[in-house]
Amino acid sequence: MYSINKHCFKEFKIAPGHRANYAILCNPEFKEKQWGMKYSPANNYQREYKILPLFSHPQIPVRYEEGKGVMYKDGQSVLIQNYLIMTHFEGEDVVEYYKKKGLPDQREIGHVIRYFASATLPLRHMHSKGYIHCDIKPGHLILNPVTGTMALIDLECTIKTGEIICGMSKEYASPEQKEMIRSLRNGESEKSVLKKVRIAAASDLYSVGLIFYRAITGKLWQEEAIPPKEINKDIPEKLNKVVLGLLEENPDNRIQTAEAMKAELEAV
């Protein structure tokens, strides 16, 4: 048994590409699988703790507690950890799900469409509040195939629309996020960068498009930009166009809003 500040868990997982460990709390006063804890000796969660109350949506975590404490294993102290406790969502990232399940065929395509349509709901809520997630990648969209919904987690890089980004996952970042980072690294001032690069809702949708593409093709768009229908013949032409519409390099040519993405998916 493990514990941090009297919060108990039986086991934890380390996800590649994530800076934190994750555990489901099993305190007797909590409902089963009610709260999850991410923790790290180096990463501080104060920013995300302040961001989470800005949103109220069933597919976005609710915060419970943030702090620092000694981690114990079977009563023996291990290491001081920073931690954040928030809603636990059952499921796994959608890319891993289809790696195990195999490429979606004609029968499964309908489920994929439903899953990604559900992902637009927390995004619509977030964007309506004037915020951009900025770090959407497979591990941050948690699919529960039983309920057919995806939860949007890990909001530590969330910014207000039009602000300078404070982090990103390079593999799933939009072209404009990468351009912003390049400009800053080249010594341009934030004011100058913001005049030419604006991070908005379409940036999050590009990242969703990369995940969508990988789920239905098993391939990375970033490695070879082949239309999804050319890889998976079971993909309908309308869905092919939706995914390509999310992956437009120029954000002005991209699907602009979560509402528009949902409407196009429902029309497939």
Q: How far apart are CA 199 and CA 213, in angstroms?
A: 22
Q: What's the mean pLDDT when you consider all of the chain?
A: 95
pLDDT in tens, 66-123: 999 999 999 999 899 999 999 999 999 999 999 999 999 999 999 999 999 999 999 9
**Burial class of residue 135, CB neighbours in 10 A (0-12, 13-18, 19+):** buried
Helix, strand, or coil here: 90?
coil
Query: 67 phi and psi, to 5 degrees?
Result: 175, -160
Whose CA is closest to 253, among 206, 198, 207? Answer: 206
Is the pLDDT reported for residue 13 higher than 90? no
Alpha carbon distance 222, 52 (integer Å): 31
pLDDT digits (tens, 9 = 90+) for 58-78: 999 999 999 999 999 999 998
Instruction: Give residue-wise pLDDT tens across range 185-220.
Output: 999 999 999 999 999 999 999 999 999 999 999 999
At 78, list the tokens.
Answer: 């291990």
Q: What is the structure's pLDDT at 163?
A: 95
What band does 20 get if pLDDT is binned at 50, 70 and 90? confident
Classify burial at 131, counting beta carbons within 10 Å of its beta carbon; exposed 0-12, middle 13-18, buried 19 or more. buried
Smallest Cα–Cα separation from 120: which of 95, 156, 151? 151
Strand partners, 238: none
Please give the residue that has the higher pLDDT: either 227 or 13. Answer: 227
Distance in angstroms (rounded) separating the CA atoms of residues 263 and 245: 13
Residue 17 has a pLDDT of 57
At 28-47, the pLDDT tens digits run 999 999 999 999 999 899 99
Cβ contacts of 1 within 8 Å, gap of 6 or more: 8, 9, 10, 73, 74
Query: Per-residue confidence at 18, pLDDT binned at 50, 70, 90?
Result: low
Per the CB < 8 A criterion, the answer to whether 141 and 117 are in contact is no
% of the chain surpassing 90 pLDDT: 93
Per-residue pLDDT for 15 more than 70?
no
Q: Which amino acid is at 43?
A: N
pLDDT for residue 16 is more than 60: no
Domains of the chain: 2-87 (3.30.200.20), 92-266 (1.10.510.10)
Which pLDDT value is given to residue 12? Answer: 87
Between CA 243 and CA 87 the distance in angstroms is: 30
